A and B are shown apart, each in its own frame.
Chain A
Amino acid sequence: MTLSLIILYVLTLIYLAIAERFRSHTTILTAQGLLLFGIALVRMHEFHPVEMGFITIETLVFKAIAIPAILLHVIRKTKINRIHTSSSQFGSLVMSIIALVASCTITYYMADDRTDMIFFGVALYALLSGLILIVSRRRIFAHLVGFLIIENGVFLFSMAIGVELPMLINLAIMLDILISILILGMFLRRVDDDIHTDESDALTSIKD
């Protein structure tokens, strides 16, 4: 079951490389939120109501519902639709596959016996996919999506190394990330309103 969910997660990352519409990006984020919820549930050793509630809020409510809703709101307000990219769809796919191969190689050499190799590799792939999205896309909305893909990768990474942080810390981390997304979304709209652009190339007026 876990393996099926992980394979689906990898597919969302491959689809991310070729998706050209921002609505597709939000759909991918929703799917990833749902998959992370499923993975976290399957990996729960025994039923704890508090832990269960926390996982539901973090993955299902925040990652699958709230954050995509915020992004859709931004898309509607700014009327942005398609990504602007410096590479072709095929080029993006090749970059994504290279990232996948690199992740597998790094995982092979790095993971020790306490680490879940599959989770580790996929988490690394998610991090690289997020970074590629930030570097290769020109629109700042895509950068925001890249940041969220990285955050999902970090969540997966915490499961790979089996770290269980105290609930208070988990809650603080979750709130921090949510507020960051809200503020980023708010400023993205401001950039669109004030500078009349959502291209990162336009954000280069501060220089020496």
Chain B
Amino acid sequence: MLIFLILTTLLALSPLVLRSMRATNVVAGIFFATNVAAIALLLVFGRIDSVMLQIFRADTLAVLFHALMTLVLGFALLHSSSYLKAEDVSTTSYKTYYTLLMLLAVAITCVYYSDNVAMTWVFLEATTICSAGIIYHREFSQSLEATWKYIFVCSTGIAMAYLGILLLSTVAQHGELDYASLREVIELGNPLYLKVAFLLIVVGYSCKMEIFPLYTVGVDANYAAPAPASAFISTALVNAGFLAIMRIYTLFSAAGEVFAWARHVLILIGILSLAVGAMFLRRTNNYKRFLSYSTVENMGIVAIGMGIGGVALWAAVFHVVCHTFVKSSMFFQVGIIRHIYDSYRINRIGNYLNINRTGALCFYIGTLVLLAFPPSPLFISEVMIFSEVVSMGSWWLLAVMLILMCVVIYSIWLRALRLNYHSNQDKLHLSEVNRRLSYSAAVLLVVAIVLGLWQPDFLSEAIDKIVNIG
């Protein structure tokens, strides 16, 4: 692990001393290959669940999400190159962007593998620092505003989470803060402290998972960052937030009555996130913010699934996995839309079907998959969550979820139709269409659809292992 971390960090920093964009691309390729090799080594040598450097553990959850991140990273690196060249950025700006993107990937990887509650916090804070530069990359006044808000709110939120970790650590013996040791003694903790700790940690990490209450900074960050980076932030980084909360959830599953309370908190947060997503999907006038609110809505569903537990927990993890493919694909498609129209404004652009038929088709299919229409994998996860809600007898929860999701479906579908059939509102200087980028983004969508039709055994077994928290 140490070799991997040193190597990837050096690779991430190396564009700063290189001279050309081409050399930066080569380094980015090596960085991607290093991540692939690391995952392959873990799987081939059966090192799953091994502890590394005392603070990292390569458990199933970490390896699964690392693999997902690497896949999205590969596409993000590829699309970033086209995006930045189309923007005609300077070589320095190009190199800085790639450095920050790769450093963000390193920090996210550390969050995934971290086996210590305090170190998870440290690496999540590190992701804030790396993300800041990417959000500010376009250097316009709104990106500056988004960056300031992102750093400030994330830092304050994560300081609150640290407070929760301190409260949680009152149960630790001899300062041992690894999840397994904490899980053994958590039942002995002061229930009031544990409840406050859970609340503070979830609220603090909500800025990363893009759920209520600190979801706004994530939406602003996705809006300001270049589209390929937004694809990475709204999947890999959101997954890091999910994973951090999932580990806390697993830890609290041994906390007796406090766990029942914690699950109620997650259901409440989930409903509020779903409501916020539904409300702002109607209001927003920007395709990137629109996709970001869709992330808030989807993560709300995941939080509800975690809160319900049982089969719904399995569905929640599966939902996150599939959402990674769908959402990253959609962000890459939106990046292509921006390249063509030089705008993300919903009320200005249209007629996409005639301008880029391939892209329009991908966007349509992506929208349907995002809306959980069969054979979308999100359909499977949502039906599983609904069935668990019904078996619990929580009809009120089912009713609230269905009403909010109807609003979501209406809003998203309306936007998709508008993009394809609505005429342009003014004379736009359309750029050349690069269909290869549309095809490459569609690959992720195809993977998602395949998962909707057939879930491979290794994935089902991995999720079984993750949710088997007995």
Contact = CB atoms under 8 A, between A and B. Distances in A.
A191 B128 contact: no
Interface in B125-154: 125-126, 128-129, 132, 136, 141-142, 144-149, 151-152
Interface of B: 55, 116, 118-119, 121-122, 125-126, 128-129, 132, 136, 141-142, 144-149, 151-152, 155-156, 159, 162-163, 166-167, 169-170, 172, 175, 177, 190, 192-193, 196, 220, 223-224, 280, 283-286, 289
B369 to A, nearest CB: 24
5 contacts: A157-B163, A163-B172, A187-B132, A206-B146, A206-B149
A180 B148 contact: no
Contact of A169 (B125, B170, B177, B196): B177
A205 interface: yes
Given A157-B166, A194-B141, A203-B145, A183 B151 contact: yes
Contacts of B224: 206
A165 B169 contact: yes
A169 B156 contact: no
Contacts of B142: 205-206
A187 B280 contact: no
Contacts of B151: 180, 183-184, 187
A206 B284 contact: no
A51 interface: no
Contacts of A115: 170
A169 B166 CA distance: 12
B128 A172 contact: no
Given A110-B193, A165-B169, 16 more contacts: A110-B192, A112-B193, A114-B170, A154-B162, A168-B55, A169-B122, A173-B121, A176-B125, A180-B125, A180-B128, A187-B144, A187-B148, A190-B144, A195-B145, A206-B146, A208-B280
A208 B284 contact: yes
A50 interface: no
A139 to B, nearest CB: 13
B166 A206 contact: no
A174 to B, nearest CB: 10
B122 A173 contact: yes
A176 B223 contact: no
B162 A166 contact: no
Interface of A: 110, 112, 114-115, 127, 134, 140, 143-144, 147, 150-151, 154, 157-158, 161, 163-166, 168-169, 172-173, 176-177, 179-180, 183-184, 187-188, 190-191, 194-195, 203, 205-206, 208
A172 B284 contact: no
Contacts of A208: 280, 283-286, 289
A151 to B, nearest CB: 6
Nearest to A182: B129
Contacts of A164: 175
B141 A205 contact: yes
A165 B220 contact: no
A172 B158 CA distance: 14
Contact of A127 (B132, B146, B163, B286): B163
A187 B147 contact: yes
Most chain A CB neighbours (cut-off 10 Å) among B145, B152, B162, B170: B152
Contact of B122 (A144, A151, A172): A172
A164 to B, nearest CB: 5
Contacts of A127: 163
A147 B141 contact: no
A180 B125 CA distance: 8
B155 A161 contact: no
Most chain A CB neighbours (cut-off 10 Å) among B116, B119, B156, B286: B156
Contacts of A179: 129
B249 to A, nearest CB: 22
Nearest to B147: A187
A157 B177 CA distance: 17
5 closest Cβ pairs, A-B complex: A172-B122, A208-B284, A176-B125, A169-B118, A208-B283
A206 B152 CA distance: 16
Nearest to A140: B148
A207 to B, nearest CB: 9
A165 B144 contact: no
Contacts of A176: 122, 125-126, 129
Contacts of A154: 159, 162-163, 166
Contacts of B220: 206
Contacts of B128: 180
B170 A163 contact: yes
B163 A163 contact: no
A183 B196 CA distance: 30
A169 to B, nearest CB: 5
A143 B156 CA distance: 10
Given A165-B118, A165-B177, A147 B152 contact: yes
A67 B98 CA distance: 30
